[in-house]
Amino acid sequence: MIRFSGRLAGGVATAALVAGTALAQGAPAERLKPLPGQPTGGPAIVQIPAPTPTPTPAPSPKTGSSFDQAFPATVSQPVVQATPPVAPLVQAWTVAQAQQLVAVIEGIGAEGLDPADYDLAPLKVAIKSGPSEELNRMASQSFVWLVEDLRDGRTPMEARQQWFVVDPDREANPSGNVLAEALKTGDIAGTLAKLNPTHPDYARLKAELAATSDGQTARRKLIRANMDRWRWLARDLGPQYLITNVPEFQLRLTVKNKIVSTYRTIVGKPGRTATPQLAEVVEGVVFNPTWTVPQSIVKGEGLGARVLANPAWGRANGYVATKGANGYITVVQQPGPGNSLGRMKLEMPNEHAIFFHDTPSRHLFANDFRALSHGCVRTERALELAMTMAILGRGATKDEAVAIANSGKYTKVMLEKQWRAYITYFTMATDINGQMATFKDIYGRDAPVLASLDKPRVRDRGTKPTSEVIVIEDDLTDT
């Protein structure tokens, strides 16, 4: 059963129920035609026209980072835009404004930060001397450090294991501009508060921290670490998105921070196949996907030679092998009930080759511990998810989505309204039942984050991910 909330409830629920009924009854598929210029004989790759087309600007070109396209424009923009000037990092403070800043620092523990990180004592000394260049320097410096930690997170990059999200907040809210706004309005505390993450879980964790006694040191540190993880992400995750919490083994389809539906997941095994933390964009939905078998299996496990030597066995298992003039063998598993990607995958280009997909081994979703894959995120009720996204993303009507899913043919439906997708790692968070819960640290990623809380704040820290990019070869065998 899908749960729906808000204005989406009627239309989406009807679409999903109609789609499910049609699939159960084996609704006939429409004839799928290849795109112009596509060779015949291969899988049909089609784009279903949106029911109510609206102009959508092309996304900005990739620059290599995993988050360059995470915020595609939703309205037409001029080709050339003026870049707003960035205010200087040292500005003039009145004594009254500096005293407000002191009050913020003294209470910053409520946000899971440490007042000792912001040179509180020297700032108080400068205030006693009245307006001066030293007061301007000290107050501006402490304020900017607060901005950096509230906006970007206090945890240094080297403590964020397998974290590859490029946070857009630094560019959207430059430190100098935030400082200028605070001094112009005179609202030091309010300006800083606007940097807090908007996701409801941040406020839930903050309330949990306030309710946890000082004597519960380990629990307080865990809460603080997970509050900081929200700051690593964009302050606002967007109007609609997918978000999966890897240690929870759950995926949420979310609209306006309200959960529309949840799905159990299977994630990467600990070690080099652990699922990384990403923020990407789902550009399309692939129904009845093919699977290009990795060379570690084609060559390393002898699958290519076996399929070439026994084509009948290959066909029975959905494999088609091709040997080039140079001896290079490729093996592609065709769409079908035994395909390793199941009946759908979400088109989500990224340098890690990570995506969401179905699986023929659906019995594994009954396991409590589901860190079993080679890195990609296998999704329960994946076909339901695929059709819902195709409909909400205005890539297909419900009838078209049902027909495509039932066709048995490889079909890619590009989305007019793209979905942001976040692969996160929270060991304390609100669970799918709405209760605050802790989750097993399956990849051991808590330790460096917790350790960083005991160390002095890192100044002049880097802003780019430092972990090794491990390209995943998913997803061959189950355990």
Block residue for tokens 């040997």: 323
Number of other CB atoms surrounding residue 69 within 10 Å: 20
Cα–Cα distance measured from residue 104 to residue 106, given in angstroms and rounded to the nearest whole number = 5
User: What is the DSSP track for 371-398?
Assistant: EEESSSEEETTHHHHHHHHHHHTTS--H
Peptide bond just before 475 cis, omega within 30 deg: yes
Query: Contact, 334 vs 288, CB < 8 A?
Result: no
**Closest by alpha carbon to 139, among 103, 110, 171, 101?**
101
Cα–Cα distance measured from residue 203 to residue 257, given in angstroms and rounded to the nearest whole number = 13
DSSP state of 163: B
User: What is the DSSP track for 321-354?
Assistant: EEE-TTS-EEEEEPSSTT-TTTTEEEE---TT--
Torsion of CA 270, 353, 340, 19, to 10 degrees: 110
pTM of the model: 0.81
Angle CA 169–170–175, to nearest 5: 120
Element (H, E) at 198: none
Each residue's pLDDT, cut to its tens digit, for the chain (479 residues) gives 333 333 333 334 434 443 443 443 333 333 333 333 333 333 334 444 433 333 333 333 333 333 233 333 333 344 444 566 889 999 999 999 999 999 999 999 999 999 999 999 999 999 999 999 999 999 999 999 999 999 999 999 999 999 999 899 999 999 999 999 999 999 999 999 999 999 999 999 999 999 999 999 999 999 999 999 999 999 999 999 999 999 999 999 999 889 999 999 999 999 999 999 999 999 999 999 999 888 888 988 899 999 999 999 999 989 999 999 999 999 999 998 889 999 999 999 999 999 999 999 999 999 999 999 989 999 999 999 999 999 999 889 999 999 999 999 999 999 998 899 999 999 999 999 999 999 999 999 999 999 999 999 999 888 888 898 888 764 444 43
Block residue for tokens 């005179």: 186
Angle CA 436–442–444, to nearest 5: 105
Chain centroid to CA 71: 12
- Walk me through the domains of the chain, giving residue ranges and CATH numbers: 6-32+41-53+62-71+239-290+335-424 (2.40.440.10), 95-234 (no CATH)
